[in-house]
Every structure is written in C-alpha cells, then in structure tokens.
C-alpha cells in the first residue's frame, strides 16, 4: 500500500518548497499540508495536486517505490 503522505512530501521537496510555500501555491494552510504528510490523503486529491504542478503521479509513485524498496 502506498503511503500518500510520503508521496506528497516527495512532490513538495522535489519542487524545493517548504510546507508553507507549497500550501500557498495550492490554497491550503501549512498545518493542513503537515497533517496530510503525516496521515496521508486520498489518491485522487494527490493526483489533482500533481497535475496542478504538471507532474505525472504514476512516475512519482514509481520513483518513490524504487527509493523505498
């Protein structure tokens, strides 16, 4: 099972953004980003966030799984 919180953090850090900067870009609070990174988020929401940065979620997940296997 994929840890969507860690994948979200991978997206954010690959963009070299702090939680605060990332939150501002997607219209959320830093606290919400922190909560999502700790507890995970629905895959569809994660996909929507990836798309908003022109990123391919499938590629991000594959890279995440390779690094963590």
Note the pLDDT tens digit of each residue in 9-60: 999 999 999 999 999 999 999 999 999 999 999 999 999 999 999 999 998 8
Cα 69 from Cα 60, distance rounded (Å): 14
Question: CA-CA-CA-CA torsion for 36, 26, 24, 16, nearest 10 degrees?
Answer: 80
* Dihedral sign computed on CA atoms, order 64, 20, 26, 37: positive
- Decide if 41 contacts 6 (C-beta within 8 A): no
pTM, 2 dp: 0.88
The predicted structure's pLDDT at residue 67: 82
| Two tokens, residue 24 | 């501002």
Under the banding of pLDDT at 50, 70 and 90, the label for residue 65 is confident
| Two tokens, residue 49 | 């966030």
Give the chain's domains with CATH numbers. 4-67 (1.10.260.40)
């Amino acid at each position: 099972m994929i840890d969507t919180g860690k994948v979200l953090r991978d997206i954010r850090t690959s963009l070299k953004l702090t939680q605060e900067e990332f939150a501002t870009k997607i219209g959320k609070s830093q606290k919400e980003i922190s909560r999502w990174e700790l507890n995970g988020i629905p895959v569809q929401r994660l996909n929507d966030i990836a798309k908003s940065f022109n990123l391919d979620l499938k590629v991000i997940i594959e890279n995440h799984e390779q690094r963590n296997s």
